[in-house]
Structure 1
């Protein structure tokens, strides 16, 4: 798995650290003193250019050592101020240490692997055929492009509530073997929960997107924005409006995503690898600029047969008894006969109930 830098250079040059500068200045001072006093240093020591060898032959006064320490601290402080991290607190800077050697970039080995992932998705979510087909073509296109990792365009899944779009996205992340993040648009405060807010604000916090990168150290996680059309807007006392869709637009545009600036940390990140999956129940409530970047993929509700098959698979994964699985499947069929087709959430609740009953300790 390749590792790539996900930020612009943010760490001070190790050669400009206080200790490294102090060593170089001390080495130079000892050489000067040696040349002025006529001290002859063996060639095999001088050639190695090592400070510890000169320390054995040339001693520096306390005043010179103090001047060197002050000069090294001053130079290192100036070099540190050139780093975007110098504005952050120590514990915040420590979070960025994980990025020093880059982050993992997950790739697919071949087009055959893309076919396997799409087939596994379709086997689990056959009612989401358009999404399965779209992800197959995009994964194959990414492999064919020869890029270092898997890069997919943002997707917008439009369909009735309770059909499993978020579950589909998480299943995709598991098959690709990348982390996932589910962002509930209806419960978060506009764009701040996802991308963060500027540090000058009283309640400023970093967004969940950057926190995901800093925590999991993967460049292309799956980020799900659930019910994006229901996201609220935040207004400042000056009348400025912050909406989730406006915050997403630069993250969906390839050029701007590769140089996206975190408003909290004020550090430039390469967010062009993130795999975005948006879900909605009615795409007509979304702005045109967003729709132009990710056209909606229309999905239908699962049929009775789909739900019964899902209950069987999920029940088996939970090690439920055949009797419990049959009871859930019978309930699905009975509800359909009565004209009430349950959705995927209802089936999962029935499975949860059955699992709870089976795990309940026996009564004495």
Structure 2
């Protein structure tokens, strides 16, 4: 399901610029100048050259290497004179020089050959980065309805999302929800719902299982000097997708623990999580791996817990807690039937699943949760294959 609209934001600070060549920048500026003249021919003729330069400067701020699709005609085909072309080429050289100087200040510590891969990856976030948004409240209604149709028993969580999407669309803000803390029994599909949320919103997502005893490094990253330096999973998701507002799912946050290195350094998962969830600190977040500031405030956080009482109060206070109930036989049966249809299972196989689910009405919740987990696992496999 395609996203409704798209904006752009700057994520890196100090700013990092695309390492575009002079010819590409000349084409961008030439096309922009020709468009200005075609839209406002009278005002352009009378405009002071310095003012015109300032207007083209505004365009430079939005230039992005990722937009290097068909740039259209060359300068000669745009009706530009020799003086125009000369000025544009001179300006393009200045832009390249300024960007090179700025990038040296921001990324000078990544100049060695061993840091080449890290620098190349980080340059994906240079300039302005796309951030998905929903165009209007009607589209927000449509997306929430789609999510509810797939997970009707998660209505409490979907309602929170629906209201957040409507507020964001009304204000013209990028798509963002939460942070949400989903509290409910094991095996009711909390993570599957979060995956479906990212799918409905056309956003990338990643899942981090805090119950595995992971340290803060999985969130914040590992700085150079450690045995396996790398950026954290949330930033990896932003870089790989080149989308500023992915959905980050943290499973079993109630089981997160504090780890210590052999030298006694504390690696607190909850502290790293707070630094990324709190809007103020997320906007000024410093990546220990790249050693540069990254605006991580556009992320949507969905946390899950089986016992919300075990979640530290600082985390709870920053989340909207959504209490969820157990999954009924009818709800699980309906979900399983939809998955069977997607898989194209024969009717006999679908009937066998349906009968197994119905038997849990008398055998108890534990067996039903096992079947639920199996169904959701199949759903995840379908999603990964698609």
Would the aligned equivalents of 1:85 and 1:93 in 2 still touch at CA under 8 Å? Answer: no
Would the aligned equivalents of 1:162 and 1:345 in 2 still touch at CA under 8 Å? Answer: yes
Q: Which has the higher helix share?
A: 2
Q: Does 1:3 align with 2:38?
A: no
Distance 1:311 1:321 in 2: 13
Secondary structure in structure 1 of the residue aligned to 2:207 = strand
Distance 2:162 2:18 in 1: 43
Would the aligned equivalents of 1:10 and 1:84 in 2 still touch at CA under 8 Å? Answer: no
Q: Does 1:82 align with 2:105?
A: yes
Q: Does 1:217 align with 2:235?
A: no
Q: Indicate the residue corresponding to 1:136 in structure 2.
A: 162
Q: 1:3–1:327: structure 2 CA closer, same or farther, 3 Å change rule?
A: same
Q: Deviations over 1:134-155 (max 9, x none)?
A: 11111111112222x1122200
Q: How does 1:233-244 map to 2 (within 5 A)?
A: 233-244=258-269
Per the TM alignment, residue 244 of structure 1 is displaced from its structure 2 partner at its CA by 1.2
TM-score when normalising by structure 1: 0.75
Distance 2:156 2:147 in 1: 11
Would the aligned equivalents of 1:108 and 1:143 in 2 still touch at CA under 8 Å? Answer: yes
TM-score when normalising by structure 2: 0.71
Distance 1:145 1:86 in 2: 39
Would the aligned equivalents of 2:12 and 2:126 in 1 still touch at CA under 8 Å? Answer: no
Q: Which runs of 5+ in 2 are unaligned?
A: 1-5, 23-81, 91-96, 379-386
Would the aligned equivalents of 1:121 and 1:171 in 2 still touch at CA under 8 Å? Answer: yes
Would the aligned equivalents of 2:256 and 2:269 in 1 still touch at CA under 8 Å? Answer: yes
Q: Does 1:321 align with 2:346?
A: yes
Tell me how many residue pairs correspond in the alignment. Answer: 304
Q: 1:331–1:48: structure 2 CA closer, same or farther, 3 Å change rule?
A: closer
Q: 1:96–1:13: structure 2 CA closer, same or farther, 3 Å change rule?
A: closer
Would the aligned equivalents of 1:96 and 1:214 in 2 still touch at CA under 8 Å? Answer: yes
Per the TM alignment, residue 4 of structure 1 is displaced from its structure 2 partner at its CA by 1.9
Q: 1:263–1:324: structure 2 CA closer, same or farther, 3 Å change rule?
A: same
Q: Indicate the residue corresponding to 2:273 in structure 1.
A: 248
Would the aligned equivalents of 2:14 and 2:293 in 1 still touch at CA under 8 Å? Answer: no
RMSD: 3.1
Q: How does 1:113-132 map to 2 (within 5 A)?
A: 113-132=139-158
- 1:289 aligns with one of 304, 314, 317: 314
Q: 1:319–1:133: structure 2 CA closer, same or farther, 3 Å change rule?
A: same
Range moving further from structure 2, 6-15 or 152-161? 6-15
Per the TM alignment, residue 76 of structure 1 is displaced from its structure 2 partner at its CA by 10
Q: Deviations over 1:42-81 (max 9, x none)?
A: xx99x958999xxxxxxxxxxxxxxxxxxxx9x9997664
